[in-house]
Amino acid sequence: MLSSFETIMRKVLRQPLTTTYLRHLWKGKCCPVQQNSQLALCCHQRRSITLSSCSRTDQASSQEVTKSPVTPLLKQLQARIKFTGPLTVHEYMKEVLINPIAGYYSAGEDMFGTQGDYITSPEVSQLFGELVGVWVVNEWYKLGAPKPLQLVELGPGRGTLMQDVLRVLKKLGLSGEDVCIRFVEVSEELSGKQQERLCGSITSDNDECKDELFYKHSNTYSGSPIFWHRHLSTIPKAFSVFLAHEFFDVLPIHKMRKNEDGWREVLIDMDEGNGPHHLRYVLSREPTPATKIFIQPDETRTEVEVSPEAAVLCKELATRIEEDGGFALIMDYGHDGKISNTFRGFKSHTLHDPLSEPGTADLTADVDFAYLKEHVQDKLVTYGPVTQSSFLINMGIELRLASLLKNCKPEERKSLISGFKMLTEPKQMGERFKFLGLFPAVVKEYLIKHPPGGFCRYID
């Protein structure tokens, strides 16, 4: 039986609202807000009114306005808004990232590395993935070392993290049939890059997989079977180690703002006025399902971002770990529930307005780790979040660096040192990224005596 919370998540918020309801609630009855990071509130009257602080104008400007370029996805979004009314940030983010035709992750471009839009910790240095691999083996061994070890990675990028983890596992005697890798990946473009990196070749979706729960399978260089799944729900139930690196930050969010009338949801509407883009932020006239469900009575912030998918996913992880055994490591940038207004875009390693050229930039929002912990605390014991710097130093990154420097070529020395600094220094990735560990509650007393590596002795 699904809890009332899960029922709402699955049946209401993850499905589009009816056209009739949207028209009644939003169309022509939205408050425009300033198109910048502050999302300043405007009027709350029955119709939109032009204010100096808003980007809304009902008449053409006397000056010709140069707006950001039109993209194929923008045309789709404009047509949808005309038909159903303004979109929630959740709907917008989902379309921009995973639209099968014009979404960011469907474009076929390589968004990672110096030539892409952003760089991730595994791409910075092998030190990161190797220490995660050591952590996996250490915690797996402490919990009985069941074989085969089922490694599940959510959103594996180019497969760099898993490549480094598998190299460590092989050195420690774990390879071949002793390890089974399962990726949760919705992008066929990325699944090809992952397969090429880990298996040496790219194949299309296997014909024999059509009736299976996975859409592709192969074998890694080390002889371990690897499978690609579109959803966590299709992963076979077994003792599993779950890894999620920069996965939760791209899950769609609802964005809500409080004004004198109470909580209202931030929406995205067309901008036919003199704004810099073809889209603009507005506020719903009335409370929405999201504001009614997600805003707690004791909420003190005036702006809140919530990802319902993150809550459902954490609950599913908790159930699997509790029933089948295993543990999880979530690695992402985020906060402890005290920060808001983090929705933004990245393009070519610089901040990019989320409303500009939809489909050409990555959209993201900081992970609310307090929110994640809230949805697993009845079944799991959690460690962290701790900073990436703290985790890696506790895992021995300095010792590993020293070892590599002794045996590296002269031209590799500078790269190793710069990678170490980028991963650990506070002004770079060291403080920005956080690590959260999830373990079954049944081993709580054991973990008090033998806490997981990287997290010291702090336990919730």
String of DSSP letters for 194-249? HHHHHHSS--PPPGGGTTSS-SEEEE-TTS-EEEEESSGGGSPPSSEEEEEES-GG
Give dist(CA 421, CA 430) in Å, integer.
8
Greater pLDDT, 87 or 348: 87
The yes-or-no verdict on residue 72 having pLDDT over 70 is: yes
Least confident interval from 34-48, 223-237, 383-397, 398-412: 34-48
**Sign, CA torsion 249/237/105/245:** positive
Rounded to two decimals, the pTM is 0.83
DSSP at 177: G
Question: What per-residue string of b and e applies to 115-134 under the rule 16 or more CB within 10 Å gives b?
Answer: ebbbbbbbbbbbbbbbbbbb
Structure confidence by residue, pLDDT tens digits, 109-162: 666 655 555 678 999 999 999 999 999 999 999 999 999 999 999 999 999 999
Give dist(CA 348, CA 330) in Å, integer.
25
What are the angstrom distances between the C-alpha of 98 and each of 3, 44, 92, 204?
Answer: 28, 33, 10, 19
Structure confidence by residue, pLDDT tens digits, 206-222: 655 766 899 999 999 99
pLDDT reported for residue 51: 25
pLDDT reported for residue 186: 87
pLDDT reported for residue 29: 42
The yes-or-no verdict on residue 193 having pLDDT over 60 is: yes
Answer yes or no: are the C-beta atoms of 180 and 150 closer than 8 Å: yes
The band of 203, judged by pLDDT with boundaries at 50, 70 and 90, is confident
The band of 102, judged by pLDDT with boundaries at 50, 70 and 90, is confident
What is the rounded average pLDDT of the residues 240-254? Answer: 96
pLDDT reported for residue 422: 95
What is the rounded average pLDDT of the residues 253-272? Answer: 95
Average pLDDT, the chain: 84
The band of 100, judged by pLDDT with boundaries at 50, 70 and 90, is confident
The yes-or-no verdict on residue 22 having pLDDT over 80 is: no
pLDDT reported for residue 34: 47
The band of 41, judged by pLDDT with boundaries at 50, 70 and 90, is very low
Give dist(CA 114, CA 125) in Å, integer.
13
pLDDT reported for residue 64: 64
pLDDT reported for residue 115: 57
The set of residues, in sequence order, having a beta carbon less than 8 Å from that of 370 and lying 6+ positions away, is 335, 336, 337
Structure confidence by residue, pLDDT tens digits, 162-189: 999 999 999 999 999 999 999 999 888 8
pLDDT reported for residue 165: 97
The yes-or-no verdict on residue 33 having pLDDT over 50 is: yes
Answer yes or no: are the C-beta atoms of 293 and 354 closer than 8 Å: no
The yes-or-no verdict on residue 61 having pLDDT over 90 is: no
pLDDT reported for residue 11: 39
- Statement: 121-251+309-449 belongs to CATH 3.40.50.12710: yes
Q: Indicate where the chain has its CATH 3.40.50.12710 domain(s).
A: 121-251+309-449
Structure confidence by residue, pLDDT tens digits, 333-383: 999 888 888 999 988 778 889 999 998 999 999 999 999 999 999 999 999
